[in-house]
Structure 1
Amino acid sequence: MAGTIKHGVFVLLEMLLRLCVAPRLRSNLLRLLGAKVGKNVRVYECRFINLENGFKNLHLADDVHVGADCLFDLKGPVRIGRGTTLSPRVTIISHSDPGSSHGSPIVAQYPCEAHGVTIGDFCWIGTGATILSGAIVGNGTVVGAAALVRGDLQANSLYVGVPARRIKSI
């Protein structure tokens, strides 16, 4: 019962956070709510889901820019490296669960996991890209708009497509 109330409080705080109009103020509020937020971080209006652990799974290094309408699943850890830019509508999914809460038999084939997501330093994630649980994006990597990222992406490379594939070194 206490866990349900705590989760409900975090959901209400997330809703109030969206009302904040100043990106730097939103960054400071996230820090107050338990996220690790570096200096000169700008977080535009975005959504946070799966807040059972509050905001403690969010780690934003210095000089990170989070564009408008991004979605963060905070079930697992989400780490964004220094100087990285998330363009608008980027989706970060830190876990997968095909229905354990309602006893889905699919869970036997596809067990729940929360590997989290790590995006390195000085990356650029294009508009509408989706980063799935377990993904590690190397430093200096560019992910094209609407790409679907899973697994490890090499540093200093350009990735595009569904699923994301390496086009070239940069």
Structure 2
Amino acid sequence: MNKFMIFGLGVVIGSLATWQLLKNKYEQLTQEEIDSVKEVFYRKNNSETEDQDIKDEHEEKMTRASYEETIKNYTGYYDKSDPKDPYVIPPEEYGDNEEYEEILLTYYVDGVVTDDNGEIIDDVEEIIGHALESFGEYEEESVHVRNDERKAYYEIIRDPRTYEDMYREELPPHLM
């Protein structure tokens, strides 16, 4: 019995050591990526000519997109550039702030987004940003969004039907 305990202890210690080494490795890789992006931004911000400034601004936008994609790959999300923009969150963060309203939306296969009363949402990007591109990021059939400007959480559920199939009798004339 004593041999089994020693073996079990060895397995646990080995697993913890491996986990710590991998954690440190990926934290270091993440920090190196962040530092390299900061260096690029620093160089870009110190340009002297007007033409170079325009070129640098374009490259900075491209670098920022690359930076955000890198951070998203390492951490599963990225820090949004504008605090007013809605952003996708992991399902476990949905409802964390009790002061925020929780709203259910439905996304139909024909691209129509509705609230829980079946009313069409016209300003989709303003409310949920580019969340419709994020199905499958955390869950296949739902996306969770936090909108700090509106103080709301949105859960968007993908429906395989069309809006017309769902609400044929109630469909406004301009959508028929």
- The structure that is strand-richer by fraction is 1
What range describes the TM-score normalised by the shorter chain of this pair? under 0.3
Structure with greater contact order relative to length (CA < 8 Å, sep ≥ 6)? 2
Could you say which structure has the larger radius of gyration? 2
TM-score under structure 1 length normalisation: 0.26
TM-score under structure 2 length normalisation: 0.25
